[in-house]
Structure 1
Amino acid sequence: MTGGATVTGEGRTREPRDAVRARLVDVAVHLLRDRGPDAVTTRAVAAAAGVQAPTIYRLFGDKDGLLDAVAERAADDFVAAKAQAARAEAHRGADPVKDLRAAFWAQVEFGVANPEVFRLLGDPARVLRSGAAQAGRAVLQARVHRVALTGRLRVPEGRCVDMVQSAGTGVVQTLLATPVPDRDPHLVGAMWDALVAAVLVDGAGSADGSGAAEPTASATFVAFRALAPQLPGLTGAERALLVDWLARAETAAVQD
């Protein structure tokens, strides 16, 4: 054994399976970004990686399995950057609404800058089986939770997460489907403003953070529910019951 590699009977060093797999994904990522999905064939990837085509089938099953790995790699890289930024934001006590706005912009910018990767990640079947996609949603959930704790969120946290993801995905799809010269440069900002009007209390989403939030019953219930699991002096059962009560009150307040 040499550095994780094995030596064959002929004295040749065989590269570790994980290293070959990583190299194939690297090659496929570059082909996808530079030349589009049609260039990501098993023959082209194998040739560029210096392996035989059957190696791809052994490691990924088929071309679709390779594309799954490519999508996961791209999502992993993007989510890792988002998670690091979110930790830094929470640590320095940055304004949660400004952070959510920045994350929304980053989602759109990534999709527009990486159209082929975005299309892979936008496949619902891939999203359902993607650990990176679930991790990315968890980062967004944490950001929304911080907004809820401030009393500025008028809708349930889960609905806000869905709306932010839906709005961002919709903007990217619209921009990618529009010739570059014809793209509306104000579309992202307009969509954010519409999102703010739907999920935040008045004044909470101004770009400079200067807007004064006006408390509402729904925002109060959302904030209290977000805080409930952290309340001291309660048993686990009591916290669960309180959260259930607040969930009902939150739903009623949002529907009014």
Structure 2
Amino acid sequence: MPTPSRGRDGTTVKADTASAGREQTRQRVIEAAIDLLTRGGRDAVTTRAVADAAGLQPPAIYRLFGDKDGLLDAVAEHGFAAFLATKHIDPEPRDPIEDLRAGWDVAIEFGLANPALFTLMYTDPTRTDSAAFRTGLEILMGRVKRLAAGGWLRVGEELAAQTIHATARGAVLTWLSLPEDRRDPALFTTLRESMVTAVTREEPAVRDEGPAGAARALRALLPEESPLSSAERHLLREWLNRLASDG
């Protein structure tokens, strides 16, 4: 953290003002790039076109983002942050499976409302390093863990999260790839319900005799801090993983 100036020359104020101005310019460039992306696709997002739209000279883009790829990464990060802002987090949903459906639908709605941005966000695997993407994934894992703790999960938590994410992303990208006359809204309902059937149970496992679902529920409920030693917790998790058949 920079040390504030002790003098009266306004050094700190000038530095803060310059930093704020740089961030405003950076945001203006990102918004200009998103506008071009939305209207003309990825090919429309050239360094010169973005600079012109933002009222800057092309070298300014390089100073702010390094190169065009850096700019596109910043645009994708902005998209992940915007998507994150649409997520509703209910720590104790009345119906965890309906909560799962609702979260899946939010992803679909965002993708359909922002087709070019969504495509940019999810067609490059390296963008999963995004801080906002990781935060969104943590929200998803929290939803999955609540399902597991309630005995609703049919598969392991990691596989469940991958299935939920893959079906939502795949549904949007498939829809966008189709000619308009071949787009059937039933695609979303079909994929969503297939996902729900694949990862959840009709009744909580704690009401059944099978040990796998109960093991997943207990594993999800285990606190990080407990009277058990680290070795004991590790051993218990290994046993639960075996019982859950996904370890």
TM-score interval (norm. to shorter): 0.7 to 0.9
Moved more, 20-29 or 120-129: 120-129
Q: CA deviation at 1:100?
A: 0.9
Whole-angstrom CA distance in 2 between matches of 1:139 and 1:232: 24
TM-score, length-normalised on structure 2?
A: 0.84
Q: CA deviation at 1:16?
A: 2.9
* Counterpart residue identity of residue 5, structure 1: T
Kindly report structure 1 stretches of 4+ aligned residues shifted beyond 3 Å.
Answer: 1-6, 213-216, 230-233
Whole-angstrom CA distance in 1 between matches of 2:77 and 2:62: 18
Q: Name the structure 2 match of 1:185.
A: 185
1:17 to 18, 22, 47: 22
> How many residues align structurally?
233
Q: Name the structure 2 match of 1:210.
A: none
Whole-angstrom CA distance in 2 between matches of 1:214 and 1:248: 18
1:227 to 221, 227, 235: 221
Q: Kindly tell me: are residues 198 and 125 of structure 1, through their superposed partners in 2, closer, same or farther at Cα, counting changes over 3 Å?
A: closer
Q: Name the structure 1 match of 2:10.
A: none
Q: Kindly tell me: are residues 229 and 245 of structure 1, through their superposed partners in 2, closer, same or farther at Cα, counting changes over 3 Å?
A: farther
Q: Name the structure 2 match of 1:11.
A: none
Question: What RMSD in Å do the two structures reach over aligned CA positions?
Answer: 2.4
Whole-angstrom CA distance in 2 between matches of 1:188 and 1:138: 24
Equivalent pair of 2:76/2:127 in contact (CA under 8 Å): no
Q: Name the structure 1 match of 2:4.
A: none
Q: Are 1:169 and 2:181 counterparts?
A: no
* Counterpart residue identity of residue 222, structure 2: A
* Counterpart residue identity of residue 164, structure 1: I
Q: Name the structure 2 match of 1:80.
A: 85
Equivalent pair of 1:160/1:199 in contact (CA under 8 Å): yes
Partner secondary structure for residue 222 of structure 2: helix
What percentage of aligned pairs have identical amino acids?
A: 40
* Counterpart residue identity of residue 58, structure 1: R
Aligned pairs (5 A) from 1:4-43: 4-5=16-17, 16-43=21-48
Equivalent pair of 1:156/1:222 in contact (CA under 8 Å): yes
1:67 to 67, 72, 85: 72
Q: CA deviation at 1:35?
A: 3.1
Q: Name the structure 1 match of 2:91.
A: 90
How far does the alpha carbon of each residue in 1:12-38 deviate from its partner, in whole angstroms, 9 at most, with x for none?
xx9732222122112112222233222
Partner secondary structure for residue 229 of structure 1: coil
